[in-house]
Structure 1
Amino acid sequence: MTKIFAHRGSAGTHPENTMIAFYEAERAGADGIELDVQMTKDGALVVIHDETIDRTTDGTGWVKDFTYRDLQTLNAVYKFAEQYQVCRIPLLEEVLEWISGTSLLLNIELKNGLIPYEKLEEKVIGIVKHYRLEPRIIFSSFNHNSMARCRQLAPNIETALLYMEPLYQPWQYARLLGASGLHPYYRTVSESFVREAHLHHVHVRPFTINSEESMKTMFQYQVDAIFTDYPQKAKQIKKKA
């Protein structure tokens, strides 16, 4: 049964990667949430997608150049200013504390492809263990070295490889890195690909599926999960599928 992960929360209808978007994903009946983690100048783990704050806040500059306190002065309401007055950039800890009181799964994407945040893996794993959420967590990244590192540090937490272009026998590559999930760009996914991955006991969770047509296709392919900005819409389409 294909699970529905709310991409950056319910990012199609609420300010992405904010608590309000995560609350909405739970209300909409998503199975899980996907979010992105970066590190501030003073080592805080913050939930934001871009390496800069320009697109999603009223500030400008690199996440790594701000302290957590600095970032708290920004409004991350993004393009939803007419609906919501103020949304803050959350700490990963804030999200984990909330999610531990729900039954939601959580995909944590480590955003360390461009900036090699020092000890990001150790810090994220430490906080996940603190909340005892290991069975409900998936780590993913476009930085596959980072996923190999997570696997070494916490072999009991699932890792998944994000990628854009088609890969040759990616299930072999996943096994090499100890990953049990492939998170491909959805246009690279075919029914035979999903079947082959499943034969090798590798989960397939494509991103980012927003149109009704692509949702129906992915449900038909029986992928393990989809990442979508519209969890409520996905739930409705899944019911009819």
Structure 2
Amino acid sequence: MINIPRTIVLGHSGFKNVYPENTIIAFEKAIKAGADGIEFDVWLTKDGKLVTLHDGKFNMGNKVYYIKELSLNALRKLHPHGKFIPTVDELFERFPNSIFNIDVKDKEAVKPLLKLVEEFDSFDRVIFSSPSPEMLKLIREHSKEAKLGFSIVTETGIAKVALLKRNLNLYSLHVPLDGISYVGFPMFVALLKWARGLGIKVFMWNYEMDELFWLPRLKGLYDGIIADNAVKVLNLLELGVI
């Protein structure tokens, strides 16, 4: 299913910086805009529910709460966006034809997450991603068919790619546009070509760069975009700019 004959567009945390991240509102807006799927983060609650939150803790009323210490019901009552935080099984039910890039934040979430994906018979449309080689190794130990994505978050991350490809059968590399500011544009282009030459899918994502400026300049060097603004990126794709 992921073999779409064009660049794949996934909503970054749903619809990053426009709607509350990792919420059902953001996910629905991205899918309705025409995105092929969504990217989201996963943690496991105290009562064993897989929820879509970026961080393992949050502040509310001058108090710090940890996701792993709260039940789903308590989380939805206490978190600022609580009532809009879906469980992962709710996403599978609501978006049965969408691609999911799941950033696994919690190692205790690995086994229940893999079980859930198996129950929905959805290994063909899910990428399990992480910036941690140890997390990817753990996922691979429990599943031979999981598609693994390595997220680059440090300058040294690129040095681990070839080894991960060989040892874990890495499916994709998730590269931040921000890398351009660290290594320069020519070297960045060379690294993308090198990764694709290894038979690895390349997905671009963004932290602080202008994705609408840089994506056209990298056209042909990536297989997917984890888009901050799905609407604007899809417009560029329709125009053939990216």
> Structure 1 residue 73 and structure 2 residue 77: aligned?
yes
1:96 equivalent among 92, 97, 114:
92
Per-residue deviation, residues 132-158 of structure 1 (Å, max 9, x unmatched):
111000000122212112122221120
The answer to whether the 8 A contact 2:37-2:99 is kept is yes
What TM-score, normalized by structure 2, do the two folds share? 0.84
Secondary structure of the corresponding residue to residue 159 of structure 2: coil
The answer to whether the 8 A contact 2:13-2:38 is kept is yes
- 2:183 corresponding residue in structure 1: none
- 1:83 corresponding residue in structure 2: none
Percent of aligned pairs sharing the same letter: 25
What TM-score, normalized by structure 1, do the two folds share? 0.84
What letter matches 1:36 in structure 2? Answer: D
1:108 equivalent among 102, 110, 118:
102
- 1:191 corresponding residue in structure 2: 189
How many Å separate the matches in 2 of 1:58 and 1:10? 28
> Structure 1 residue 164 and structure 2 residue 168: aligned?
no
How many Å separate the matches in 1 of 2:165 and 2:51? 28
How many Å separate the matches in 1 of 2:168 and 2:46? 30
- 1:134 corresponding residue in structure 2: 123
How many Å separate the matches in 1 of 2:213 and 2:62? 35
How many Å separate the matches in 2 of 1:68 and 1:29? 30
Per-residue deviation, residues 76-123 of structure 1 (Å, max 9, x unmatched):
44xxxxxxxx842211111111121xx2110011013xxxx43x2111
Structure with the bigger percentage of helix: 2
How many Å separate the matches in 1 of 2:137 and 2:223? 22
1:147 equivalent among 136, 142, 145:
136
The answer to whether the 8 A contact 1:8-1:17 is kept is yes
- 1:37 corresponding residue in structure 2: 42
How many Å separate the matches in 1 of 2:160 and 2:146? 23
Aligned length: 224
The answer to whether the 8 A contact 1:2-1:224 is kept is yes
How many Å separate the matches in 2 of 1:162 and 1:29? 24
The answer to whether the 8 A contact 2:76-2:83 is kept is no
- Which consecutive aligned stretches of 4+ in structure 1 deviate over 3 angstroms post-superposition? 57-60, 74-77
1:198 Cα deviation (Å)? Answer: 1.6
1:169 Cα deviation (Å)? Answer: 6.6
- For the aligned residue pairs, the C-alpha RMSD in angstroms reads 2.3
Secondary structure of the corresponding residue to residue 171 of structure 1: helix
What letter matches 1:92 in structure 2? Answer: V
What letter matches 2:189 in structure 1? Answer: E
How many Å separate the matches in 1 of 2:212 and 2:227? 11
How many Å separate the matches in 2 of 1:73 and 1:181? 36
Q: Which segments of 5 or more consecutive residues in structure 2 lack a partner in the other structure?
A: 1-5, 181-187
> Structure 1 residue 180 and structure 2 residue 176: aligned?
no
Secondary structure of the corresponding residue to residue 182 of structure 1: strand
- 1:63 corresponding residue in structure 2: 67
What letter matches 2:205 in structure 1? Answer: F
The answer to whether the 8 A contact 1:165-1:185 is kept is no
